A and B are shown apart, each in its own frame.
Chain A
């Protein structure tokens, strides 16, 4: 069983479009995260939710909007896509914020043309 899953794995789209990435975890964790990894491999946190409540919201353009319908899901919606949004996006989960192991999904490679 996949612990943290993301769909789609690849996403190719035109500038200006709106797209969503879905994430699900079956570990029973309370905390979920979205990270962006650029071409230099830097892992940058974007958002974190604990028990469906937003607890971390780093300096991310408001074109990015996370939504957590329940503790097992954290989706990422991106409006008006730009070239600079091209990256790999990782979802992760942990039992609690900060003090326990994070489990990462396989990533979604977003390419904006």
Chain B
């Protein structure tokens, strides 16, 4: 089955700096890669996703890059704000299969 690894497990940045979270996957059939943000006491919420036919996707301060050859994808948050503090999960899946989640990254943005 698929194996998704996520690093780092914790990340602290100063407000205004950038944050990068990296994930690797093992199944070359995976073609859908969402990123979820989980705030304290809430369920995970999708913040951005990318499909295997695209190398990069951006939505305001958030961007995701995908390297299919190396089987890794990354989340980039620029100009971080205190409200970006949360746990972030990457995931990988392909149509008809289940989602495989990374182990999560706890991001703290220091004002």
Q: Flag whether A56 is at the interface (Cβ < 8 A).
A: yes
Q: Are B46 and A107 in contact (CB under 8 A)?
A: no
Q: Flag whether B78 is at the interface (Cβ < 8 A).
A: no
Inter-chain contacts of A101 with B (CB < 8 A): 34, 46, 49
Residue in contact with B99 in the complex, picked from A45, A90, A103, CB distance below 8 Å: A45
Q: Are B104 and A41 in contact (CB under 8 A)?
A: yes
Inter-chain contacts of B99 with A (CB < 8 A): 45, 98, 102
Q: Are B45 and A104 in contact (CB under 8 A)?
A: yes
By secondary structure, the A interface counts as loop
Q: Flag whether A99 is at the interface (Cβ < 8 A).
A: yes
A46 to B36, CA, bound (A): 19
Measured as residues with beta carbon below 8 angstroms from the partner, the interface class of chain A is 20 to 34
What residue in chain B is nearest A41 (Cβ atoms)? B104
A104 to B98, CA, bound (A): 15
Q: Are A102 and B34 in contact (CB under 8 A)?
A: yes
Inter-chain contacts of A97 with B (CB < 8 A): 95-98
A98 to B38, CA, bound (A): 20
A43 to B41, CA, bound (A): 14
What residue in chain B is nearest A97 (Cβ atoms)? B96
Inter-chain contacts of B43 with A (CB < 8 A): 4, 90, 92, 104-107
Q: Are A43 and B96 in contact (CB under 8 A)?
A: no
Q: Flag whether B42 is at the interface (Cβ < 8 A).
A: yes
Interface residues of B (CB under 8 A from A): 31-32, 34, 36, 38, 41-46, 49, 87, 89, 93-99, 101, 103-104, 106
Interface residues of A (CB under 8 A from B): 4, 40-43, 45, 48, 56, 90, 92, 96-107
Can you name 16 extra interface pairs (CB under 8 A) apart from A99-B31, A106-B42, A107-B41? A41-B38, A41-B104, A42-B101, A42-B103, A45-B98, A45-B99, A48-B98, A56-B98, A92-B43, A96-B96, A97-B98, A98-B95, A98-B99, A101-B49, A103-B46, A107-B42
